[in-house]
């Protein structure tokens, strides 16, 4: 007799499950590991993994209902403030000195945001733990690769500038992804594994020649500890300090330059960079309102619009390019995002605050405003946090006493 077909087997659902598993494996494992050795791994492999997740949800329709989720997102104050930043950036194309390059960069930025939103809407409403446990495995594997490069760099990587740049980008991604990995493990009550993952990543950052990531990780650890002790205080400090620094950035060179000159000398590179920032503020005060236009901070150095030693920090570039409108809108979006993070999953709040603090520190130390690999890194971190948040659906079963059940049964 012919074997009867199983009506519950659906090849389309199996294909969707396979695509989703491959997508998460790429996002959680392949991207962090390959990013340690390839400069463009984040920009190339990250979107491919997100597209696989989108295709999987298009096949099995396991995501949340699209219209209610999109409506909730559009009503969020942080999202509206972010839209204002994008619109002001588009309007600044009128007065930017580099309209062609600025338009191309703005289109790339919008494409990255749209892909991130599509990935957000495509993530399943309930994530499988088997997929999410790939995250700490991938972070640990990437940290081991980074340690090997840091210890045996001359023989493994030959110390070329291109490869050193790749490692710097990979360590930045590692410094951010460690926090959702730790948060996920702690939410599963695997505290020892979470501590081990954090220590391995800290070792990978410590053996690298660049100190930016280890400093950012340390500040993130402080935010994690403060939020773990008192969640409301950790959220308030993280949101308030980051938004306040961005909103009051033009005042920073006037405060920090005398302190830096006293500590490191008046001719140290950092102090001279603050002097250039101070000169920009004082010579063109009206530009603090409108900004110089999108994409001028990077390209203006090559044509003499601003000093070559001007800061490359996000705090400077926001004000220089977008002025008070863009900077204050971004500060409000940042504040609202931090305040909102983890509201539906309290167990993830310390990790979310640590990720915000780490990312903000890296941006303040010297990552450009619209560098694509940095924007893609932030997008990946956001999607990873959303994924682990949707894995927190375990509910408690009601406790019923066996003796009580026997007493409630009617007599025969």
pLDDT at 157: 53
Which H helix or E strand runs over 156? helix 153-156
Residue among 222, 124, 232, 220 at smallest CA distance from 181? 220
C-alpha 164/C-alpha 166 separation (Å) is 5
Instruction: Tell me which DSSP letter residue 248 carries.
Output: T
pLDDT at 63: 80
Query: Residue 140 is encoded by which pair of tokens?
Result: 């640990």
Query: Positive or negative, the Cα torsion across 232, 80, 72, 220?
Result: negative
Are 388 and 348 in contact, with CB atoms under 8 Å apart? yes
Give the CA angle between residues 212, 213, 219 to the nearest 5°: 95
C-alpha 379/C-alpha 371 separation (Å) is 12
List the end-to-end C-alpha distance of the chain, in Å, as a whole number.
Answer: 48
Instruction: Kindly report each contact of residues 343-349 with a partner whose C-beta sits within 8 Å and lies 24 or more positions away, as own/partner.
Output: 344/389, 344/392, 345/187, 345/389, 345/392, 346/231, 347/183, 347/186, 347/187, 347/392, 348/180, 348/183, 348/184, 348/187, 348/385, 348/388, 348/389, 348/392, 349/227, 349/231, 349/234, 349/235
The dihedrals phi and psi of 63, each to the nearest 5 degrees, come to -75, 170
Are 95 and 321 in contact, with CB atoms under 8 Å apart? no
C-alpha 205/C-alpha 207 separation (Å) is 6
Residue among 28, 58, 325 at smallest CA distance from 180? 28
Identify the burial level of 208 via C-beta atoms within 10 angstroms of its C-beta, where 0-12 means exposed, 13-18 middle and 19 or more buried: buried
Give me the half-sphere count of Cα atoms (radius 13 Å) on the Cβ side of residue 172. 26
Helix axes 269-283, 252-264, angle to 10 degrees: 150
Write down the number of H helices and E strands in the chain: 21, 0
pLDDT at 64: 78
pLDDT at 365: 84
List, for residues 173-203, the tens digit of each pLDDT value: 999 999 999 999 999 999 999 999 999 999 9
C-alpha 63/C-alpha 123 separation (Å) is 5
pLDDT at 396: 46
Residue among 348, 343, 346, 347 at smallest CA distance from 381? 348
pLDDT at 395: 47
pLDDT at 355: 95
pLDDT at 410: 45
Are 71 and 194 in contact, with CB atoms under 8 Å apart? no
Return the exposure string of 384-400: e unless at least 16 CB atoms fall within 10 Å of the residue's CB, then b: bbbbbbbbbeeeeeeee
pLDDT at 367: 76
State how far the alpha carbon of 406 is from the alpha carbons of 397, 399, 410, 412, in Å: 19, 14, 9, 12
C-alpha 67/C-alpha 71 separation (Å) is 6
CA 228 to chain centre: 20
Q: Which residues does the chain have with pLDDT short of 70?
A: 1-9, 153-164, 342, 368-369, 393-412
Question: So where are the chain's domains?
Answer: 12-389
Q: Which residue in this structure is represented by tokens 């000159």?
A: 261
Which H helix or E strand runs over 97? none
List, for residues 100-130, the tens digit of each pLDDT value: 999 999 999 999 999 999 999 999 888 888 8
Count the neighbouring beta carbons within 10 Å of the beta carbon of residue 322: 26
pLDDT at 1: 40
């Amino acid at each position: 007799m012919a074997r009867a077909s199983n009506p519950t087997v659906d090849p389309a659902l199996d294909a969707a499950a396979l695509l989703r598993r491959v997508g998460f494996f790429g996002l959680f494992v392949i991207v962090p590991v390959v990013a340690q050795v390839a400069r463009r791994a984040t920009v190339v492999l990250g979107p491919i993994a997100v597209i696989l997740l989108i295709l999987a949800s298009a096949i099995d329709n396991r995501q949340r209902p699209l219209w209610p989720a999109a409506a909730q997102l559009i009503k969020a104050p942080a999202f509206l403030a972010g839209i204002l930043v994008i619109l002001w950036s588009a309007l600044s194309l009128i007065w930017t000195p580099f309209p062609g390059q600025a338009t191309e960069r703005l289109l790339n930025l919008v494409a990255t945001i749209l892909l991130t939103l599509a990935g957000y809407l495509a993530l399943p409403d309930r994530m499988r733990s088997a997929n999410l446990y790939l995250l700490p495995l991938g972070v640990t594997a990437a940290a081991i690769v980074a340690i090997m490069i840091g210890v045996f760099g001359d023989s493994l990587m030959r110390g070329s500038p291109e490869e050193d740049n790749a490692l710097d980008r990979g360590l930045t991604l590692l410094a951010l992804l460690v926090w959702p990995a730790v948060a996920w493990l702690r939410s599963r009550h695997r505290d020892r594994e979470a501590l081990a993952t954090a220590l391995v990543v800290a070792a990978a950052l410590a053996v690298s020649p660049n100190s930016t990531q280890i400093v950012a990780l340390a500040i993130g650890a402080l935010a994690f500890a403060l939020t773990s002790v008192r969640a409301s205080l950790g959220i308030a400090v993280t949101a308030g300090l980051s938004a306040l620094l961005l909103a009051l950035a033009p005042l920073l060179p006037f405060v920090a330059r005398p302190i830096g000159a006293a500590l490191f000398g008046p001719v140290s590179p950092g102090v001279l960079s603050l002097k250039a920032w101070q000169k920009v503020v004082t010579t063109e005060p009206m530009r603090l309102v409108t900004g110089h236009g999108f994409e001028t901070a990077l390209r203006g150095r090559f044509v003499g619009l601003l000093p070559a030693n001007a800061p490359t920090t996000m705090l400077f570039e926001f004000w220089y390019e977008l002025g008070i409108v863009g900077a204050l809108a971004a500060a409000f979006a940042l504040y609202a995002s931090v305040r909102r993070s983890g509201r539906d999953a309290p167990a993830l709040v310390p990790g979310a605050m640590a990720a915000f603090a780490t990312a903000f520190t890296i941006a303040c130390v010297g990552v450009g405003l619209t560098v694509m690999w940095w924007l893609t890194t932030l997008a990946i971190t956001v999607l990873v946090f959303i994924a682990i948040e949707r894995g927190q659906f375990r509910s408690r079963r009601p406790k019923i006493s066996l003796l009580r059940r026997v007493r409630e049964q009617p007599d025969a």
